[in-house]
Chains A and B, each alone.
Chain A
Amino acid sequence: MVSRFFPRSFHRLASRATLAGAALLSPLALPSDASAETITFKDPKGDDNGPGTYVYPSNAAYKPGSFDLTDVTIESAGSEITVSATLAAPIEDPWGSKGWEGNGFSVQMLFVFIDTDGKAGSGHKGGAPGLNVKFAEDSRWEKCLLISPQGSRRLQTEIDSKAKSMAKDLVIPKRVRVQGRKLVATYDAAAIGAPAKGWGFQVLVQSNEGFPGKSDLLTRPINEIKGEHRFGGGHDFNCDPHVIDMLAGGAVGDGSEKEAQHKALKAYSCNDDDENGGKQAEIGMVRR
């Protein structure tokens, strides 16, 4: 009966306060969820060159290996899903992200696309704005988990202005932390669903651009020649895939996956008379 005197938000607050107290008093004793389910993918080292031609920008902030994906783990535990993405180089914060409400790193940005229904023709075909890729018909995606150094406020405003049609399916993490070479992002499971057998995943590695183009979701362009803050080896128009690394083949880390990645990302064509013309590369999902 007492509960009637308090709004629902109070109970929610009290519940969280209890949890917070428990965490504060005994963080070491927090139990791990016995029902945790983990999906892992591997990616070969040395394929951080998109279709095989991309090179890093020249500024010293883009250290070798900074965009070279090697491992991805997706763990579902309780009400949260945690994605851990490991890169080949230590993750640094050269632009002081804490000064712009950031998450403790600066240059990377990752997109984790998920095909939850496995149905051909169902879901989004285009990648997030700025990636310049499409998904194969049998790999259309329903959810995309963002891993960005930008805080949730900036991410949300960028999504609202540049990705309205897919806004509800772009999932902003509750929190992101850096662990050496690993980015660990945690999401509310309710926004994604429980990972099930047959779900498809694709992880695309990009770079956080704080001053993005009008139609880029905080992604850094890839041009024909590299610049201080521009990847090189691509095309100046929006036909080349703006993807530095991705999962490919069986995503077990086999060397042959490099070639599979190159082949997939090379499959684009440009129209020299139309900046937004040409045919974008079409990529697929990896399933477990």
Chain B
Amino acid sequence: MSRLGLRTLAACAALSLLAAAPEAARAELVNFDLSGGIYTKWLYRNNDSQGVLSYGNPFWPDNLSGDNGVGSEFELGIKGRVGENVEAGARLQSRFGSLWQDWWENGDISYDDVNTSGESLGMNHAQYIKLRGYYIRASLPIPWVDSILVGSSDFGMFNEWTIGKVRYIDRDNGKGVFVQGSPHADYFRYHTAIIALPKLWVGPGWSTGIGDPNIRNPFWARDLAYGLRFDSDPIDGLRLTSVTTVTRDSEIDLSDPDAVGTIYPTCKDDLGNPVPGCEKDGAVDTYTRYSNTVATLEAQYDGWDGGSFNVIGGYSYSTVDPSLAANGVALNEGVFPIPFGDFHGGFVKARAEFFDVGTSGLGLTVEYFNVGEHFVSIFGARREADVLITDGFVGGGQLPSLNLANEFVDFDDLWYESIVGWHGATALLEYQGSVLDLMVEQTALTYNTNAQYRDVDEVYPTFLHSDGFTDTDLYDYANVLDRGRDPRSVYRRHQDRWSSITMLQTVFHTGVGRGLDIGLKAKFIVDSDTRQEVTGEDDYLGLITHGKLWLSYPFVDGLSFAIGSVVDYWLEDNRRGTPEQGYGDDTTTKVKPYVDLRYAYQGFEFRYYLEYVYKDAERERDDDRNFHVIRSKAELKVAW
């Protein structure tokens, strides 16, 4: 509700109470600033799965993921003024996952099987209202302190390499204490934070000890991340930024006799001998299960009209205690978000943009990137960010972490790939004109992760599937569909890889009618990996052609309609296999026609997307596979 609407409501309420206690009642009511929103999603596909989320949790079963269903969620934001310089707020939101058909589901699970009781699907289908976030913000009269935030934050004050801004659906889940200030407006500004470490994903095995077979009594209440950011504008146009973050997952010392579940409750060993140094003191010691330190220094120069320059470099240290963290590389088939051990890593990235090169609207951007094979950022950006200008392999974003999140997404969402180990450069030419928009990219890269006999059994995670070009259209976590490389898989046992990405994208503004646009995207990737140096039998060569043609037309104000098709043709020598079993040459053809309609009117935001995916995978070592998938997604959002 807008302030005006709320105040109207508040005023009415206040008037009704006027006779009783006019001053007090009015003061209470006008101090609530409400906002609301309803989001509805329709998801359909020609299969038999039920749910409203294309890709759910890859590890834990849930009963809300699926391809057929319609569901809604409601959110309520509340803000209030506590004092002249103190504000507090909260966001309440209903749980998403219930289908419209679910009528009476109340959250109980009284039966093992789905039935008509309304007590069989649990809280995922109960649409209960959950407290999603809360904060208190204060501008206190303390020197050098501008404001203090206690509670929810999206962590947007740091950067993708250190502590990344959390994804939108998690925007209020992160909690901490944040202080920002500016002792000198130009020369010295700072942000500092102490953040409660998310117990579910920031750590070895995507946990801070919970579920780890090496931990008997997981302790997460003092797991924290620390962040410190400094900004300075020493001269006009130049901004220097340093960010340092430390994440620390601690566990209790079970040899401490004060600890719950201690192995020495009486300070004696199994033979009855006193344990040296063992003494009850009413305090419990802790050990560090995992720690990750990342520091970056960035310089941005915009003092020249003709261009813009950015250089960022960083260092990381990742250390894991093998007695407190199970080795998921070994035990979880390489599905693990960090290399197992102690690693120092680094990266550097430099970007130069030149504006209006030769003519107005023509820009040239050149970027160099070199991310070390041991750069580790467990708390870096997981998605909805992009640190490189290249279109990359998957077309979404490129991020410097193995802890990416390509889950809890729908089939039409963008994909993100890890750039750990990437070393190369991109040249990007962009032209924006009245008739034509044009973008031409050339990227060449090799990999710092190239190595022979890399230890992928105990140290370096492969995410199990490292071979073949990634099919993001028909992806599945268990890889029963032969979807290719996991976007996080940057290590192989044997790798000698280089790649080239060439991309052209153009939009022709025809000027016909209300504005017919014709778009074309063509991307060609050469991906070469000789794998084992000792033999040529396993050499991989991928020649990946991706094309897209579309037309868009705004039929009326607020309505845009696009129709187009994607065509992929992949030629892959030795796409997948093993040295023992041999490799096979595969050819993949995909065609994906689609329509995309968007409509907005007075806060009514609607989108409908429909596509047909045809895929023909000719596989030398396996049976050929064909896919005929028809799927659609519609969304309606209103907010007030």
Contacts and interface: CB of A to CB of B under 8 A. Distances in A.
B438 interface: yes
Given A32-B359, A157-B602, A80 B2 contact: no
A75 B508 CA distance: 24
Contacts of A27: 358-359, 362, 431, 433, 438
Contacts of B640: 214
B262 to A, nearest CB: 43
A58 B149 contact: yes
A23 B439 CA distance: 12
B302 A181 contact: yes
Nearest to A180: B308
B511 A13 contact: yes
Contacts of A37: none
A186 to B, nearest CB: 7
B57 to A, nearest CB: 23
B341 interface: no
Interface in A177-206: 177, 179-182, 186
Interface stretch (B62-70, B77-85, B285-293): B77-85
Nearest to A91: B302
Contact of A12 (B137, B239, B511): B511
A46 B437 CA distance: 36
Nearest to A84: B305
A89 interface: yes
Contacts of B87: 225, 227
B435 to A, nearest CB: 5
B302 A24 contact: no
Interface string A8-47: 0100110011011001100111101000000000000100
Interface in B301-342: 302, 305, 307-308
Contacts of B191: 60
Interface in A45-61: 45, 58-61
Given A90-B308, A160-B557, A180-B307, A20 B4 contact: no
A287 interface: no
Given A58-B147, A64-B185, A90-B308, A180 B355 contact: yes
Query: Interface centre among A58, A181, A182, A227, by most B CB within 10 Å?
Result: A58
A23 to B, nearest CB: 5
B512 A28 contact: no
Contacts of A19: 435-436
B139 interface: yes
Query: Interface centre among A20, A29, A96, A275, by most B CB within 10 Å?
Result: A20
B546 interface: no
B148 to A, nearest CB: 10
A95 to B, nearest CB: 9
Contact of A20 (B3, B359, B436): B436
A207 interface: no
A213 B4 contact: yes
A271 interface: no
A64 B7 CA distance: 32
B633 to A, nearest CB: 15
Contacts of A45: 236
B601 A161 contact: yes
A92 B562 CA distance: 28
The 3 A-B residue pairs with the shortest CB-CB distance, nearest first, are A180-B308, A60-B157, A28-B358
12 contacts: A27-B359, A27-B438, A28-B362, A30-B433, A32-B359, A60-B156, A96-B384, A153-B559, A156-B557, A182-B355, A214-B4, A227-B89
Given A23-B433, A58-B180, A161-B601, 4 more contacts: A16-B511, A65-B233, A157-B557, A180-B353
Interface of A: 9, 12-13, 16-17, 19-20, 23-24, 27-30, 32, 45, 58-61, 64-65, 79-80, 82, 89-90, 94, 96, 99, 101, 153-154, 156-157, 160-161, 174-175, 177, 179-182, 186, 211, 213-215, 221, 224-228, 236, 275-276
